Amino acid sequence: MNDCIFCQIVAGEAPASFVHRDELVSAFLDIRPVTPGHILVIPDEHVVHTHDLPEATGERLFAVARRLAQSLRRTDAVRADGVNLFVADGEAAGQEVFHAHLHVIPRYQGDGFVVDASAWRDTQPTREELDEVAGRIAQSSA
């Protein structure tokens, strides 16, 4: 048996509470939700990182996440005040399950979930430094 827990969920060999299924992606509730209604959207195919997904699967992943985010805002069951989309690609980014997934995390006023990035407040590179980094990234993605 494939020892990837998300492959087992896709194959029906492990339980999950699904909110969406199609021919490319599946979405189900996270068993350790950050907030009530926390969803994971995953490719049915085993790929480790979202940036390595086939184009169509990557597009579907985001399309389904957007639709589910709208549902979280709208429904009476989970009327979220906001939504965070989150991806951890790679161990250094906090990835724990090495089958690509996109977190859709409903947010509620006063839910206590803090995205803490002191770097956003503290560092301010010069325009020259920003341009130099932007140039390198743009060149390698061209």
Tell me the torsion sign for CA atoms 42, 44, 48, 53.
negative
Which residues have CB under 8 Å from 42's CB, separation 6+? 6, 9, 10, 25, 26, 27, 61, 99, 100, 101, 102
Q: Which of residues 27-86 bind ligand 5GP (CB under 6 A)?
A: 28, 30-32, 40
Q: Work out the angle at residue 28's Cα, subtended by the Cα atoms of residues 26 and 30, and round it to the nearest 5 degrees.
A: 135
- Shortest distance, CB of residue 105 to Zn ion, whole angstroms? 21
Cβ-contact 38, 105 below 8 angstroms: yes
Q: Which of residues 94-113 bind ligand 5GP (CB under 6 A)?
A: 94-97
> Which of ligand 5GP, Zn ion, none binds 4 (CB below 5-8 Å, type-dependent)?
Zn ion
Which part of the chain contacts Zn ion (CB under 5 A), choosing from 6-14, 20-28, 68-76, 103-111?
6-14
Cβ-contact 108, 81 below 8 angstroms: yes
> Which of Zn ion, ligand 5GP, none binds 84 (CB below 5-8 Å, type-dependent)?
none
Which part of the chain contacts ligand 5GP (CB under 6 A), choosing from 44-52, 93-101, 110-118, 129-137?
93-101
In the set 20, 46, 73, 103, which binds Zn ion (CB under 5 A)? 46
3-state class (DSSP) for residue 9: helix
Catalytic residues: 101
Residues that bind ligand 5GP (CB under 6 A): 5, 16, 28, 30-32, 40, 88, 94-97
